[in-house]
Amino acid sequence: MAPQLLDKVPVSICLATHNGERFIAEQLQSVLEQLGAGDEIVVSDDGSSDGTLDLLRQFSMPQLRVIPPRRFFDPKANFEYVLAAAKHDIIVLCDQDDIWLPQKLDRIREVMRDRRNSIAAMMSDAGLVDEAGESLRERLFERFPPRRGVWRNIYRNCYTGCAMAITRPLLELALPFPKGIPMHDSWLGLLAEAAGDVVFVDEITFLHRRHTANASYRRRNPAQQISWRASLAWHLWRRLVTIGMRNQKEGR
């Protein structure tokens, strides 16, 4: 599809940062090169003590918007804050240390443009690289194979935030994030599974950098995993019941 047609669908890219000066410039450059005039990239910084904010100020693109920084020290809360600031109907989650390949944003537009008014999510594959950007000869979908179904994803989540794009109706359903859920990506994926539509794109659209600071690769003990599964199931049920009752009251 021609880029000029795809550009008619504006997109919000939501980037959550925290002490990301090591990789943020490379990631931002790979994103900004793909933006159309109507797109935006919204950045929220979570209490960085390094030069992340200084690096962000060096990018003077009109599409770049850094919202007032806050101190969460929690990636889930930081993403909740930046997602709430998005303006457009297609919202793309973005990590500070990945590298987008040139076709990523156009692929998202192509898949999501006809779904942007419904509860929907998309997840695309990634090539895994190390801290130096060298290939680990593994794909994200090999490490976390896509799987459909609410209960299957409560038991073992396959959703990775940096690989996801969502629609505004899904975002409105998801906000505010409940207290006690493990991460934002599992919450968004489960809501899309339960109430809408999910598309898995078996195509590498970005390079996902693995290193010791990755929150998603930290080991969790079994008791914590059981607690998180119970929390996800409980909050998912509560949110869907609440939305159902609201819609019934409004006659939808």
pLDDT score, position 102: 96
Q: Does residue 249 have a pLDDT over 60? A: no
Phi-psi region of 36 (alpha: psi -120 to 50; beta: other; left: phi over 0): beta
pLDDT score, position 5: 46
Average pLDDT over residues 135-144: 96
Question: What percent of the chain is modeled with pLDDT above 90?
Answer: 83
pLDDT score, position 220: 67
Cis peptide before 176 (omega within 30 of 0): yes
Angle of CA points 120, 175, 235, to nearest 5°: 90
The pair of structure tokens assigned to 195 is 């109430």
Q: Rounded to an integer, what distance in angstroms lies between the CA atom of residue 234 and that of residue 194?
A: 13
CATH number of 3-249: 3.90.550.10
Angle formed by the axes of helices 184-195 and 75-84, nearest 10°: 60
Question: What percent of the chain is modeled with pLDDT above 70?
Answer: 90
- Which stretches does DSSP call E strand in the chain? 11-17, 40-45, 64-66, 90-94, 99-100, 120-129, 135-139, 164-167, 197-209
- Global pTM value: 0.91
Q: Does residue 240 have a pLDDT over 50? A: yes
Give the H/E segment covering residue 87.
none
Q: In b/e form, how buried is each residue of 178-210, taking b as 16+ CB within 10 angstroms?
A: eeebbbbbbbbbbbbbbbbebebbeebbbbbbb
Residues 40-52: pLDDT tens digits? 999 999 999 999 9
Q: Is 141 in a helix, a strand, or coil?
A: helix
Q: Does residue 169 have a pLDDT over 70? A: yes
Q: Rounded to an integer, what distance in angstroms lies between the CA atom of residue 168 and that of residue 176?
A: 13
Residue 3: pLDDT band with limits 50, 70, 90: very low
pLDDT score, position 243: 79
pLDDT score, position 61: 85
Residue 215: pLDDT band with limits 50, 70, 90: low
Residue 69: pLDDT band with limits 50, 70, 90: confident
Q: Does residue 23 have a pLDDT over 80? A: yes
Average pLDDT over residues 30-46: 95
